Amino acid sequence: MPSDENPMSGNVSISGGNSAFVDSTVVEDTAADADAIAEESDAENATSEATSVAEVTDEQPVLSYRAHVSNIGWQSWQSGQAGTTGCSLAMEAVQLRLTGDVSQTYDIWYRVHVKNLGWLGWASNGDTAGTTGKSLSVEAVQIVMTKKGERPAGYNASQAAYVGASESLSVSGYTLSGSKVSVSGSDVITIGQAGSTGLSGIALSVKNALITGGIEYRTQRQFGTWQQNWTAGGSTSGSTSDGEQIQAV
């Protein structure tokens, strides 16, 4: 049977029965085209994969936390390392919280194992787990993330997650004679006494604070106006000894 081969056709030609041959030029061109297509496909896949990874990364939950350390107190919120190394200072309590969109969908739960106390109850979303003011170290931490409103297995509402001193307000005042009077408490507190000499200065601070923040205050002095700047951190607003009393706080 005569051959139907056409060397210029670029197609596979049939010769004799079921046998076949392929033009080497066609094979090389086809292979080159296939390689080019594969490279283009790989590039598209790489771009798509990179985009997907970026999108997933943007959507990953962001966890921040802080620790209460002996002789230091509460550290600032961070997403790196909490606590200390090489200082021989125990971590006594922790707070964890989710940030960003994920915090609207999930809750973060955690509990700690404390020296001499064992496992405490579960805390969540920035609440305190551990102790303060008792010199008891955290020996282990368990963490779990649940859907919003759900609780971890073994949750017991009657089991406290935090054991320690309560938050309280500490107030110091200075009388017109320069003597200092101080009081603190977690309920209503009174500084000074009705019918006595007035106060010339006042200072306030929060003790055993379990969350970030504080209290700011300013005073209006006798024969004067309101202080322009707010005072905080236990510093005195007014005076300790100039004899001019506070008229308003």
Question: Which tops the pLDDT comparison, 67 or 170?
Answer: 67
Task: Decide if 203 is inside a domain.
Answer: yes
Task: Decide if 182 is inside a domain.
Answer: yes
Question: Which tops the pLDDT comparison, 12 or 81?
Answer: 81
Are residue 211 and residue 159 in the same domain, yes or no? no
Question: Given a cut of 60, is residue 66 above it in pLDDT?
Answer: yes
In this structure, of 36-45, 92-101, 128-137, 159-168, the range with the lowest mean pLDDT score is 36-45
Are residue 124 and residue 189 in the same domain, yes or no? no
Are residue 141 and residue 96 in the same domain, yes or no? yes
Share of the chain above pLDDT 70, in %: 67
Are residue 107 and residue 186 in the same domain, yes or no? no
Query: Domain end: 164, 189, 216, which one?
Result: 164
Question: Given a cut of 60, is residue 110 above it in pLDDT?
Answer: yes
Task: Decide if 14 is inside a domain.
Answer: no
Task: Decide if 15 is inside a domain.
Answer: no
**How many whole angstroms separate alpha carbon 82 and alpha carbon 129?**
14
Are residue 157 and residue 68 in the same domain, yes or no? yes
Confidence category of residue 33, pLDDT binned at 50, 70, 90: low
Task: Decide if 220 is inside a domain.
Answer: yes
Which structural domain, as residue segments, surrounds residue 159?
62-164
145-196 residue pLDDT tens: 999 999 999 999 999 999 886 677 888 877 777 777 777 766 677 776 666 6
The 129-132 sheet, strands edge to edge: 73-74, 62-69, 91-99, 129-132, 162-164
Are residue 207 and residue 239 in the same domain, yes or no? yes
Task: Decide if 176 is inside a domain.
Answer: yes
Are residue 147 and residue 219 in the same domain, yes or no? no
Task: Decide if 54 is inside a domain.
Answer: no
Q: What is the 3-state secondary structure (H, E, C) of 195-227?
A: CCCCEEEEEEEEECCCCCCCCEECCEECCCCEC
Beta-bridge mates of residue 220: 226, 248
Tokens of 86: 């090489």
Average pLDDT score over the chain = 75
Are residue 202 and residue 121 in the same domain, yes or no? no
Domain count, the chain: 2
Confidence category of residue 56, pLDDT binned at 50, 70, 90: very low
Query: Domain end: 164, 180, 198, which one?
Result: 164
Are residue 211 and residue 138 in the same domain, yes or no? no
**How many whole angstroms separate alpha carbon 163 and alpha carbon 134?**
9
Are residue 106 and residue 148 in the same domain, yes or no? yes
Are residue 152 and residue 187 in the same domain, yes or no? no
Query: Domain end: 106, 138, 164, which one?
Result: 164
Task: Decide if 1 is inside a domain.
Answer: no
User: Which amino acid is it at 85?
Assistant: T
Are residue 69 and residue 158 in the same domain, yes or no? yes
Give the predicted TM-score (pTM) of the model.
0.51
Neighbours of 63 (CB within 10 A): 16
